Structure 1
Amino acid sequence: MDTLSCEQLEERMASLHRASVDLVKESSLDALLKRIAEEACRQARARYAAVGVLGENGELEQFVPVGMLPEDIAKMPHPPRGLGLIGELMRADEPMRLPDIGSDPRSAGFPKHHPQMNSFLGVPILYGGEHLGQIYITNKIDGGEFTEADEQIIQTFAAYAATAIRNAKLYAKLMENEADLTQKNRNLALINDLAAALASSTDIDQILERSIHQVLESLQLEVGEVYLIQGDSKRLSLVHHQGSPVRKLWSQPQFRMGEGAVGQAAESGAPMHIHIPGSDTRKLDYSVTEHHLTQIVCFPLNGRQGVQGVLCVGTQRPRPIDETEKQFIEAISSWVGTALENVHLSLQQRRLAVLEERERIGMDLHDGVIQSIYAVGLILEHARLLMREDPDKAYNRIVQAIDSLNSTIRDIRAYILDLRPHQLHDENLLQGIRRLVSEFRANTLVEVSLQGPADGLADLPDAPALALFHICQESLANAAKHARAHHVYVNLWRTVDRALLEVRDDGRGFEPDEVRLALGHGLPNMQTRARNVGGDVDISSEPGEGTTVLAWVPHSNES
């Protein structure tokens, strides 16, 4: 056993201390491992050294040698696999010192082109009982064996190395987390911008084009496609393709639910990852393999009420689409699914509104104009029968028919005017209502009295003024259609905090329980308009006593 003098021991310990100080300054794990190996060589006066680092699964994750030329390392068929003495040391907690590697039965030998090695010193790198890796040292420069003093020095050095490796790993993890957080924040900002744009769009092509472009550009992917569920069917059809050089991802333009990766993603509501080669690629278009795509991922477009379709993305890069990228695409896919659902709901609402309006128009025409024309036809038929028997009566019946036709013409004109949207232009509220009253009087020949404040409520804001304007229009229309009134009274006035409108007629009135039947869509329309601006409508009526509509909206006299 070598015995070191006090001076030699002090010198080696001082050198070891300086080396340990340098180690903790290194934040790059790769550079740190190389420095540990080089310093171990110097401390033990060895020709070769290496540092192995274990992964979370206990397998050899990194192996950094020094002393060999890079071209010699490149000639070897593979890096160490953790067999033989390397594997033994991976499972050991104590150092291992041998005079000759080849004579030890645990040795697995060397691969082709590996330099000849004899003396050996291996020391585990331990941190609080956790096995981080090992230091391997071979071939003492002076040709002898490694000594007990070498073992003690390298064992002490391994303790310093353990702290440095632990710190470097923590720093690398911190940098990875920071980069991941930065990327997630960037992705979140992109998603928020995209969501704002999608929420206001009603164009499906624009939604798909913008969304796929965002995914491909942000993640540097090559190809994107969308398959949408068509109506109530169980089929998904290709509706959008973006990217090159691949002409399309799949060989067929449609998939049934559960068929292929597209149908499976739609049916399960979960992403499907296809590796090329490796997965079932029979349904892929030939251009996918021709242009060397390595993977395709299909993401369901999930809306609030179910899957709307599937977004497929493909790439040529060798690195797999990672979890952060998948989360980014899934978030965009959810927004696209919701946006598509909103478009469909909006279309359905518009169709429903059109159908309801058609029904209302049909009922109004049937109950009013068509019945009037039918009555005129009966009068003329009677006049034809009287022509020979009593020409005077026939003449009177024809005059009656002409009067009825003129009355029907006035009804049609009033109905057309009622369908045409009225607006307040550059008028105040009283001026606008005066225009409505003039049109009503001309088309119905019903007398109308109008009273209002001198200023015409000119300072009433646009929204409540327009609400009262349309309520007056609806009230006059109801009076013309249903009341059979001779006189209508329209009053407009204000209080401290309200503007009020009263429309009262002397018509036939109705039972309150029949108000919806009597007014059709009029009452709901009036109530909706008033309540949308913070007001309300009250309707009172009795059979034979006429009808009164009283509406109010908030308004302040304070300037």
Structure 2
Amino acid sequence: MTLRRLKLYAFLSSAFFVVVLEISRHLLYPYLLSLPGRLLIDGILIVVALFFFGAFFHVLDSLQAQLERQNRELLALHQAGLDIGAELALDTVLQKVVDQARQLIESRYGALAVYAETGQISAFVTSGMSPEVRAAIGDPPTGKGLLGLPLGPGEHLLVDDIGADPRAGGFPPRHPQIRSLLAVPIVCKRPFRGNLYVSERQDGQMFTAADRETLARFAVQASVAIDNAHLHERVRELAAAEERLRLAHEMHDGLAQVLAYVNTKAQAVQGYLRHGKNQEASEQLNQLAAAAREVYADVREGILGLRVTSAPGLSLPEAVRDYVERWGAQADVAVEVEIDRRLRLPAGIELQVFRIVQEGLANVRKHAHAGRVVVRCQALDDSVRVTVEDDGVGFRPEALGRSEFPRFGLATMRERAESLGGRLEVSSTPGTGTRVEAEVPLLVSRGV
């Protein structure tokens, strides 16, 4: 009942009471002047007042309960939107969309079907089923029966009894018994078409119009989160492609320098051998072997970095941990990684942070002669801090000019940090190791 209808009922009740009172007064006026008559009128007034106010407060209680229920639904909808909006990896977003939809509608099962251009289901994400049940069911659906019905913007699918619906295609063996089904479309700006399903309310009741409206509102929030995940994925791909091109140039330039070095050394070896200076020739060959090992290690690190950053669906914490552990195995150095698994950064900053870690470890391998390395990535209020710390031989940073930083592999790290509006600090003492710390803001100024 609305407040407008409540006001109307109150007005009509008051008018009706006044009319009845006037009629009674004219018909029973002599009797009303007596004591029994006055007591009768007082009793009627009390009964009418109790009935009216009882009905009035009952309606108010119903309205208050309705408002509280709507507030709870809006709060749950808001919280669900925040939860899925905090993720950037597409697979994680899709799973959270299904999980939150099931919790929001308080249903036993949930699913999200992603459709290819052919109309077949290309991905099917479920919630409420154990891995054992999903494995027992077998292959995911392909888009037949109710799951193949196309839903456009503003449409929905509500089925109270799937078994009695002629459009249903049945269930595979060992599938849980499902009777009711509610579905709404997820409409995104990017090439994405999907339907969001919930089935079997936990209280055993049928789905209501309020459930449909809540699920439709949540689907709008889900579409925004999916669009953001697609955009993040695209930005990450572009940043990775740009980084691969830059690394290719760096490796090309480095190999060109090494080949020139090899050519010079080879000519020197030939000269020494012609003059019978075998000792000098042997020293030159040893230097060539050392250069070859150095280039081999550089190429392996570059390939490892490209392999890790190009892995699909890998978050920054996972990529950093994977790379550091593999690097430690290759370099035969004990490693320790301290990074929040929930750390999420913009794609451009994410890749630069990874490269700073990669170059810091390359610097350790080339110069530190360390036995242990600690890599930390910390999210601060408005920035991210990356630290690479080793227990190697160390050096005196004050003895180096800015132009000499390339000798110790720090120039590129400094350029990366400063290109993002950040800074790079180096602290080291001979014999106690080196600590390289880069801090970059999360919001990079572009001069706009």
What TM-score results when the alignment is normalised by the length of structure 2?
0.48
- Going by fraction, where is helix more abundant, 1 or 2? 2
- Going by fraction, where is strand more abundant, 1 or 2? 1
